[in-house]
Amino acid sequence: MAQAPVHRCRLLGSPWPGVHATAISSARHYARHTHATFGLGVVDQGAQRSASGRGTVDAFAGDIVTTNPGEVHDGRPLGGPTRAWRTVYLEPELLASVTGDPRAVAITRPAFADRELAHATRHLLATMEAWQQGQGDALACEVALVAACGLLLERHSTLPPPRPAPAAPLAAVRERLADDLLAPPSLAELAALAGLSRFQLLRRFAAAYGLTPHAWLLQQRAERVRGLIARGTKLATAAAAAGFADQSHMTRIFTRQFGFTPGAWQRARAGPQ
């Protein structure tokens, strides 16, 4: 009896009801089928050939693969027995919420190379993985989602270029983040404060301050920890007081920012023993 083709599939949930993802390694030949969602994927290993509503295409490791809602497509390995890829599935309403533009939109190409979008898609998948494991940060997840979807829509969709947005009160956005390091506002709240779409806010904030809102927030948390430890606060207490999920998370961010661990800082501030 012939063995069934190798097929492994892992499903990832997300903080949003309109988003889920799959991680697949498979030798299976998929018959023609459709999804009611948009698909945004990245090929991790091997290659795939597929027919789509936009023609027959080949996708290789590192390439982006996409599908539009209702688009008939199939898929089979190319040049080897298996291939591996991960796909984020997005309800149309959720994708529209990223730009705040209600007009119908379609992704223009089924497979293409875009290094920045591939990086953003992998980062989104990583934040979903962390959320699945109970380590998710709501603002980090939202930033990752908006960054990936915004790049996809801006570069590879039928959505017209947005009109130039007015000057935005970015200092007020930064102050709002600094006001509550323990329970920061959502990206949607910050965008509303600035009068921008979520993707516009990401772009404007990064251009002004060199960091995304979430990365800026993490730096402020690390600075708070540094001050607390200098005043004699215990490491675990400092982590909680600055909004970190746990002491290990604090240590990773603190070390990345300052180049030394919180423990080393604690010992240095304590003076000679």
Contacts of 228 (CB under 8 A, 6+ apart): 237, 238, 241, 242
The pLDDT of residue 255 = 94
Could you read off the pLDDT of 50-84 as tens digits, one per residue? Answer: 998 878 899 999 999 999 999 999 999 999 999 99
> What amino acid occupies position 248?
S
Instruction: Please determine, for residue 273, whether its predicted confidence score (pLDDT) is greater than 70.
Output: no
The pLDDT of residue 160 = 83
- β-bridge pairing 73-77 and 30-33: antiparallel
User: Among candidates 35, 40, 252, which has minimal Cα distance to 145?
Assistant: 40
Strand partners, 47: 60
Instruction: Please determine, for residue 168, whether its predicted confidence score (pLDDT) is greater than 80.
Output: no
Could you read off the pLDDT of 12-53 as tens digits, one per residue? Answer: 999 898 999 999 999 999 999 999 999 999 999 999 999 988
The pLDDT of residue 55 = 82
Q: How confident is the model at residue 165 (pLDDT cuts 50, 70, 90)?
A: low
User: Among candidates 192, 118, 107, which has minimal Cα distance to 154?
Assistant: 107
Long-range CB contacts for residues 172-177, cutoff 8 Å, separation at least 24: 173/201, 173/205, 173/213, 174/205, 174/209, 174/216, 177/213, 177/216, 177/217, 177/220
Give the tokens for residue 121. 């898609």
